[in-house]
Amino acid sequence: MNTWNHSNQPDFILMGLTDSKEIQIVLSVLFLLIYLVTILGNTTMMMIICLDFQLHTPMYFFLVHLSFVDLSYSTAITPKTLENLLTLNKSISFIGCFTQMYIFILLAGTECFLLSSMAYDRYIAICKPLHYPVIMSSRYCLALLTGSYIIGAVDSSVTVLGMIPLHFCKSNVIHHFYCDTSPLLSLSCSSTNVVEIIIFIFAGSTVLGSLITISASYVSILSSILKINSTSGKQKAFSTCASHLLGVTVFYSTLILFKAK
């Protein structure tokens, strides 16, 4: 049985979503359209926010980087997925596979805390409006943003550095359309218990910490909104949170469903 790791690197094979040629063509067209819409939507949003000085507020500052993260997600995975769907080349190098995984985990961790920062921003705006300009200063927003990227980088670095020394011998076939931790760990003939515990601790702490921050912010926001006497005031307060709540719901429901499979 052949054994390999980072010092002896064969290519992995990404099996993708289906073996049917007809379905692959349909999926390639669908993914290409989604990717183009993602590029157009996110780049347009970033340009509008950057060019309109009235939108240079903390909420839109975080929104620019959230758009950048979403665009980076797609760029890290979609081009290779389209190549696999449209050609017979389903291989990805050892380095390419781990690079893709590193970028994906970094962006996932970053997005968790960007959403937390946006929830905190809404909490300050609604619950402490008079102190908002002082608390959500440019320096503080930059610190929150930097912290989000650092947390994402730490998560991804710990995961990838923990997995690189593993030896793989069961197969080089990944039953997925991109390089993720679970499919790769299932191919290892080394003991993965320690690596799995480390991944669980770091990933769990990131997700749980983000969810606690978001939940605590919105409990306080809801409490403040219920104290508003006018209906129009309540609607205005709710409207400032609606898009963020939708983004949080979509992100975490997708993340949980993906990891549950």
Per the prediction, the chain carries an average pLDDT of 87
Domain over 12-260 is classified CATH 3.30.470.30: no
Res 4: pLDDT: 57
Instruction: Look at residue 6 and tell me whether its pLDDT is greater than 70.
Output: no
Res 100: pLDDT: 94
Res 246: pLDDT: 83
100: phi > 0 → left, psi -120 to 50 → alpha, else beta; which? alpha
Instruction: Look at residue 40 and tell me whether its pLDDT is greater than 90.
Output: yes
Average pLDDT value for residue range 7-12: 70
C-alpha distances out from residue 22 to 13, 70, 107, 129, 178, Å: 20, 29, 32, 56, 20
The kind and range of the H/E element at 261 are none
Q: Buried (b) or exposed (e) across 58-77, using 16+ Cβ within 10 A? A: bbbbbbbbbbbbbbbbbebb
Considering only residues 106 and 11, tell me which one the structure prediction assigns the higher pLDDT.
106
Res 171: pLDDT: 77
Instruction: Look at residue 261 and tell me whether its pLDDT is greater than 60.
Output: no
CA atoms of 57 and 201, how far apart (whole Å): 34
In this prediction the pTM is 0.88
Residues 213, 50 contacting (CB under 8 angstroms): no
